[in-house]
Each structure stands twice: as structure tokens, then as C-alpha cells.
Amino acid sequence: MGQRISSAKSSASKLWCFINPRFASSESFTPFYGNYEKLKSQEDSFNLQIHPYELQFPFELKKEISCSLQLSNKSDNYLAFKVNTPNPNKYYVTPNIGAVLPRSTCDIIVTMQAQKEAPLDMQCKDEFVIQSIDANHKRYHSKNGATTKDITPEMFNKESCYEVKECKLRVVYIAPPQLPSQVREGSDKDLKASNNKVEQQDTSLQIHPQELQFPFELRKQISCSLQLSNKSDNDVAFKVKTTNPKKYCVRPNNGVVLPRSTFDIIVIMQAQKQAPPDMQCKDKFLIQSIVANHKSYHSKNGATTKDITPEMFKKESGYEVEECKFKVVYVPPPQPPSLVREGSDEDLSSRASGFPDKARALISKLTEERNSAIDKYKRLEQELVWHLFRKFSFMDAYAHFIFNV
């Protein structure tokens, strides 16, 4: 099977060179799967996880176009980043330098200025470089690491004392999105539901999921997660409350979500000795949030975690406190993997002899279904291999005929 895949890749490369002769002698041309493997190995050695692997702009003439990148920090360290653009007059990056808190993400917007003419063959040679460093240091304002105002361009120079890691992202032009279809008629209920959805998105924090789902099991500690997303340009402080503090542990129960970033919260339910009636839970959670931009804070733009106090979320504090309630739902625990191993029909028959008639009949039926599925898979595999063989063999023969005429 591996030889067939290798042969198919080789034939695909020949077919591409036949369709695009200008790439036939180009040393810089590599198939897409090669670029993907290169980018994937590059990301594995990088401090931050980057999504997507390339900057995709839906290219249109005389129109300013934007695309986004998300930097994810899955470590327990503060990580600083800097985005280097190949053409500062053509691209604008917001923010181009900053810090990503532990277990959080940061969204970056890259804007391309309006272009008067399209590039040759819609190919772009621009390449961005994202640099990152570990920014845990005692001299910073935050207890554990740097804030955005502490990050300077000199920290990413080779002469600095930091270990600078780099990741390169290429620019790709893609087709612009299709125009939306004509608006269909709808009822007043549909319009109200749509308006309610828009109003929900306008809140300071977006929270996912909308309820806390615990796969309930007796005498076992269980956890689930919430993600807070801040789509605004302000620092947003939050606090998590529960109606049953002895039963649940929230980590962290307060903090700050930076602009255009996310924050993960882990909720742990202590082991329970007995199940509730009908598996219904009456516990509830409340998440309060406020905009925390104030001159008295250590950071220039807003608060850090140590600045957050319980008094800030009271009605008398002067802050506009937003609240969101969540209920707790018990769901079935994940099913264990199947213990049935692959074997011959004789093995299944011998094992089934010790079961009652109904069990033997069920095992016999499952055996027939399994054999039927295996036969169908083999037929499809053969048809696919034959189809690829005919297709690429025909194109190779046709290309050979054209080049030798």
C-alpha cells in the first residue's frame, strides 16, 4: 500500500508539471504535502502553537483585506512574541508584539493594504517570521512573568540573553468568499431568535460551553472546562461563584482575560458517595465580569490578576458588572473500549458455544455483519487502486505522447 501511495504522489507531481510547465524545471516547487510536513515539524519545536499554518488572504483588487492568526500557549510559562513582516508598507499587524499568559491564547490580526494590481499567477513570495521567548523573570510587574508593556524588540535579538525561537509563515492568496444567497422569508420568531443571538455575542466575555457537563461516576473526582473569550479591545476581569463551594473547586476562580484572547477555567467536582435522584443536579454557577481598564493598575492598559478583589464585583463598586449563570448537568461517562478482538469465525463460534441461544444468535449476526463490512472495504480499496492506476497511467502516457511528438 505504501508503494501505491508513493507512486500516486509521483504521478501527481508529473501531472502538475504537465499542466503547469513553468514548474517543470523550478527547484523551488514542492508539493503541498511536503510544505505541510515542514511546517508541522517547525511548529513542534516552537514555544507557541500557531493556527493556521499560513496567512490566507481572499485577494481582491483595490480592497483592504484582513486575516487572523491564533497563538496558543499550552505551557505554564509566560511567553512573549514578536511578529516580523516582510513588507511594513504592505502589511499592518495588530498586535505585533506582546505576551501570552499560561494556558491561554492571543489573536493577531494581519491587514494587507489595498493592492492596485494582482501578482503574477496569483503567487505571493512574502513570508512572516514569528519569534517567541520564555518571559518568566523576577523584575517584571507580574509575579510570574512579563506583561505586554515589558516586551521590547531588543529582547528578540540574537545578542540578548533569551533563547529566541522562530517560526515562518508564508502568504497565500485564495479566492474571495462567494456572495451570500438571497434572503429567504422568515417568521417573526426567527428574527427575534437571530436578534437574541447577536445580543448575546455583544457581551464582554463569550463563554463556551453554555453548561457544565460532568460525566458522573460514584466515588470519583471529575473535572470539566470552560473557555472565556474576550473579543473586545479591553482587559476584562472575571470571578466565578458557585452555589455549593464545598462540592466544587474552580481553578482559577478569578483573573483577567487580555484583549482578543481566551482563558481556560477548570471546574473540579469532588467524589460523590451517592447519585442524586433521577441524575438531576440543582447546583449553579455564576460568572461575573467587568471591564478592568484603570490608571491605578500596574499595567498601562489594565489590571493583572493580583489587582482583582471581590469588592470590584459588588454593585456598589462603580463597575458595570455583567453576569452569566450556568447550570450543572450530569452526562453518562464515556464507554470503555470494546473487549472483542479480531479473530476467525471458528474462534467466535467456539466462544459463543458457552452462551445462551439469544447470545449465540446475536454473536452470529454480528459476525456476518463484520465479514460483510470487511468484504465491502476490500472491494472499495481495489476499485480505488484500479481507478488511480488507470487515471495516472493514462495521464503519464498522454504526457509522454505530447512531449515526444
Question: pLDDT digit string (tens) for 114-132?
Answer: 888 888 778 888 999 999 9
Q: Which among 127, 197, 222, 226 is positioned nearest to 169, based on CA atoms?
A: 127
- Record the cell numbers describing residue 287, joined without a space: 460568572
Q: What is the pLDDT of residues 244-287, one digit of tens each?
A: 999 999 999 999 998 888 889 999 999 999 888 888 999 999 99
Q: What is the pLDDT of residues 199-232, one digit of tens each?
A: 343 457 889 888 999 988 888 999 999 999 998 8
Q: Where are the beta strands (DSSP E) in 21-95?
A: 49-51, 55-58, 65-73, 79-84, 91-94
User: Residue 44 has what pLDDT?
Assistant: 52
Neighbours of 348 (CB within 10 A): 18
Q: Which among 269, 315, 249, 248 is positioned nearest to 288, based on CA atoms?
A: 315
Instruction: Decide which of 357 and 352 is more confident.
Output: 357
SS3 116: coil
d(C-alpha 263, C-alpha 326), whole Å: 17
d(C-alpha 350, C-alpha 3), whole Å: 39
Contact 135, 150 (CB under 8 A): yes
Q: Are strands 261-269 and 49-51 parallel, antiparallel or unpaired?
A: unpaired
Query: Could you give the C-alpha distances from 388 to 17, 94, 106, 395, in angstroms and in order?
Result: 18, 46, 43, 11
User: Residue 327 has what pLDDT?
Assistant: 92
User: Residue 368 has what pLDDT?
Assistant: 85
* 379-390 mean pLDDT: 75
Contact 57, 91 (CB under 8 A): no
Residue 243, pLDDT > 90, answer yes
User: Residue 29 has what pLDDT?
Assistant: 40
Q: What is the pLDDT of residues 2-37, one digit of tens each?
A: 454 455 445 545 444 444 444 444 443 444 444 444
pTM of the model: 0.40
d(C-alpha 48, C-alpha 362), whole Å: 51
User: Residue 22 has what pLDDT?
Assistant: 41
Residue 289, pLDDT > 90, answer yes
Q: Which among 222, 323, 338, 199 is positioned nearest to 271, based on CA atoms?
A: 222
Among all chains, which residue has been given the C-alpha cell 464507554? 335
Q: What is the pLDDT of residues 144-175, one digit of tens each?
A: 556 677 788 888 888 888 888 889 999 988 87
Q: What is the pLDDT of residues 71-122, one digit of tens each?
A: 888 888 888 899 999 888 899 898 889 888 888 888 898 988 888 888 877 8
User: Residue 191 has what pLDDT?
Assistant: 44
Q: Are strands 284-291 and 322-331 parallel, antiparallel or unpaired?
A: antiparallel
* 59-73 mean pLDDT: 87
Task: Determine the Cα angle at 133 with ends 128 and 139, to 5°.
Answer: 140
